[in-house]
Amino acid sequence: MTSLLFGIILSALLSTTSLLIVLFRVSPLSAPLQALPAFFVSLFLTISSVGALFFFLLWRVLPIHTWDAGKTLGISVRQGILLASATAITIFFHLLHILTWWIAVLIYTIFVLVELALNA
C-alpha cells in the first residue's frame, strides 16, 4: 500500500510540474494543436492525483467507515478521476463558450451521483 501511495505522491508532483510548464512555457496562440491537448492531459493528471491524495487524507481523518487502507486508497483514486473528469469537461465547455453556472453544477452533480451509485 505504501508503494502505491508513494507512486500517487510522485505522480502528483510530476503532473503538477508538467501543468506549470504547460501554463508558463507553451503558448496556445503559437501552437494550438500541441498546447490544448497538453494542457488538458496535464490538468487531468494533476487534478486526479492531487484529488486522490486529498480524498485519501479526508477518508483517513474522518473515520465514518470500516475500510482498510487499500480499499480507501482505491476509492480515493476513483473519486480523484471522477473529479478530474468533471473539471476537464467544465473547462472544455468554458473553452467552447457554452458554460453557464447551472451547467457546471449539473456536471458536478452527475459525477457525484455516479460516485454515490458506485459506492452503494
Q: What is the DSSP string of 69-98?
A: HHHHHHHHHHHHHHHHHHHHHHHHHHHTT-
pLDDT at 42 over 70: yes
The three cell numbers locating residue 34: 500541441
pLDDT at 28 over 80: no
Taking the CA atoms of residue 9, residue 11, residue 13 and residue 14 in that order, the dihedral angle to the nearest 10 degrees is: 160
What pLDDT, on the 0 to 100 scale, is given for residue 100?
93
What pLDDT, on the 0 to 100 scale, is given for residue 1?
60
Tell me the domain boundaries of the chain: 2-119
Residues 43 and 80: beta-carbon distance below 8 Å: no
pLDDT at 114 over 80: yes
Q: Is the pTM of this model over 0.85?
A: yes
